Amino acid sequence: MKIYLKPYIYLLIFNSLGLIPLQVKSQNITSPNIVLIYADDLGYGDISNYGGYIPTPHIDNLAKNGLKFTNAYAAAATCTPSRYAMLTGEYAWRKKGTGVAPGDATSLILPGSTTLPGVLQKAGYKTAVVGKWHLGLGKEAPINWNKDIKPGPLEIGFDYAYLLPATGDRVPTVFVENHRVVNLDPKDPIIVSYRKNLDGNPTGDKNPEQLKMMYSHGHNQSITNGISRIGYMSGGEKALWQDEDIADILIQKSIEFLKENKNNPFFLFLSTHDIHVPRVPHERFAGVTGKGPRGDVIVQLDHTVGAIEKALEKLNLEENTLIIFTSDNGPVLDDGYLDGAKENLGNHNPFGQFRGGKYSAYQAGTRIPLIVKWKGKISPGSKSSALISQVDFLRSFAALTSQNIAKNKAIDSQNQWKALIGEQAKARKSLVQQAIRNVLSYVEGDYKYIEPHSGPTKVPWGVNIETGFKGNPQLYNLRKDPGETENLVSKMPEKMKKMKEELKKVRNS
Ligand code: NG6
Ligand code: CA
């Protein structure tokens, strides 16, 4: 005799055995796919929708069809700590060794950590990271680039990874797919050193005649593809990337992932190389803006956004996919190569109305563009001035997928899901910004407190950016004075003291 049970009984049984991820059950009802497009060093003012003078029609369209944030922050003013915070839900200054990672750094986020991709993976999403990593790889230094390189993204919640291991300006200049360097010929192994030029290969310093783009500061070590980098490498000739092709390859790998996962929930973290240095656009984009390579790679980045949107449309996934577009930290002009970024700016102002830039405690360091689009769910053309941080993505997505995160995990992340999709006008009460040297600022309501620091007032290498460091405390009213010109400490000493105390509390929490 056969016993027939109603379908939901099977669901209940399987679910109680842990065989059905919660997410899959509710996928069609509430939970969208998520595509997070994470630009590198893109300033608040670099997008035309945010006031820039470089055409960014595809990114503008995201804003026209979605929700534009005007008061959003990356957690830090450089890449590694900013990404660390976004992926773990914890400010990076809590953990030693999370400053800008050298190209041969070992994994900074350890297996077993609570992570943004891990949360979504648990909910039944297929998860991928395509593009810049810069959070370290492997267990022990020195990394052997000729074997399986792990742990890495696959050990902390990503099902697929196609990576630039560190940055475009650091060796080895090769892609890593899952655990392996792509196109590596075992007869030509890769050797990397961040200390000495092991085999006397050409360097920018000794052989500038071999360069297609000259360095300005740093970046005078090994030469690959006519560009000198940070660090020394030899071997891996067939695996070396062509900088001109990076954007197209990242698009291709992303689209492959979207296609493969069109029938299940997915999370794609597309971490673009654009617009980090070296800025070397594909010939389709070289010269199109008349504003030099920095302008051209913004157009290339915009093309990437358009290509991903088009692919989603073609796959009929537009309505069921939430797209987030943002940047890891603020803008910089000369970040180590003579690419004419400053000379060709014209009226384009990457910094918007803000002071400082990448690396800085001032607003331009971490105040970044943020756009969220979800067709049919978010009202087109809406705007939000909610105070929100990328560190909030983790708990927001946990809430979206009905998951509880233990109190002592992801401690700096807040569930701001409603604000993120425009259902709520307000979000955080306060947040912490991190500049180089772990100098912290505290933003609460209209005010910002920058802790005193005796470091240099300008970033001590050639970028020509104010650090925001002063020996005395600083207090600004960001609403009245977004450019941080008037230090209010002598006018409002009590307010300063209170904010100082608040920052101390967060620091010690
Ligand atoms: C700096 C590099 C800069 C860039 C940055 C990291 C020098 C002189 N400058 O140390 O070019 O690579 O690190 O940028 O080496 S980030 O966006 O990944 O944080
Ligand atoms: Ca960056």
User: Hey, whose CA ends up nearest to atom 12 of ligand 1?
Assistant: 169
271 CA to centre of ligand 2 in angstroms: 10
Closest atom of ligand 1 relative to the 80 alpha carbon: 19
What's the whole-model pTM score? 0.94
Give the pLDDT confidence score for residue 199 in this predicted structure.
Answer: 86
Tell me how far apart the alpha carbons of residues 233 and 225 are, in angstroms, rounded to a whole number. 13
Which residues lie below 8 Å from residue 188, measured CB to CB, with a gap of 6+?
235, 236, 237, 238
User: Which residue in 468, 257, 389, 330 sits closest to 41, CA to CA?
Assistant: 330
User: Hey, whose CA ends up nearest to atom 3 of ligand 1?
Assistant: 335
Q: How would you class 4 by CB atoms within 10 Å of its CB: exposed for 0-12, middle for 13-18, buried for 19 or more?
A: exposed
Q: Using a 6 Å CB cutoff, which residues line ligand 1?
A: 40-41, 78-79, 100, 134, 167, 169, 217-218, 230, 276-277, 329, 335-336, 461
Q: Which of the residues in the chain have pLDDT under 50?
A: 1-12, 15-29
- In a 3-state reduction of DSSP, which class is residue 315? coil
Structure confidence by residue, pLDDT tens digits, 168-208: 999 999 999 999 999 999 999 999 999 999 888 999 999 99
135 CA to centre of ligand 1 in angstroms: 14
Ligand lying closest to the C-alpha of residue 39: 2
Query: What is the fold, at CATH topology level, of the domain defined by 434-508?
Result: Arylsulfatase, C-terminal domain (3.30.1120)
Give the pLDDT confidence score for residue 127 in this predicted structure.
Answer: 98
Q: Ligand 1: which of 132, 219, 230 to mutate, judged by most atoms within 8 Å of the beta carbon?
A: 230
* Domain positions in the chain: 33-428, 434-508
Structure confidence by residue, pLDDT tens digits, 397-445: 999 999 999 999 999 999 999 999 999 999 999 999 999 999 999 999 9
User: ∠485-81-308 over CA atoms, to 5°?
Assistant: 95
Query: What is the fold, at CATH topology level, of the domain defined by 33-428?
Result: Alkaline Phosphatase, subunit A (3.40.720)
Beta bridge pairs of residue 388? 72
Closest atom of ligand 1 relative to the 329 alpha carbon: 17
172 CA to centre of ligand 1 in angstroms: 15
The verdict on ipTM greater than 0.85 is yes
Long-range contact list for 283-287, CB < 8 A, 24+ apart? 283/244
Tell me how far apart the alpha carbons of residues 151 and 149 are, in angstroms, rounded to a whole number. 7
Structure confidence by residue, pLDDT tens digits, 437-475: 999 999 999 999 999 999 999 999 999 999 999 999 999
User: Hey, whose CA ends up nearest to atom 4 of ligand 1?
Assistant: 335
User: ∠357-360-366 over CA atoms, to 5°?
Assistant: 70
Note residues around ion ligand 2 (Cβ under 5 angstroms): 40-41, 79, 328-329
Tell me how far apart the alpha carbons of residues 23 and 401 are, in angstroms, rounded to a whole number. 6
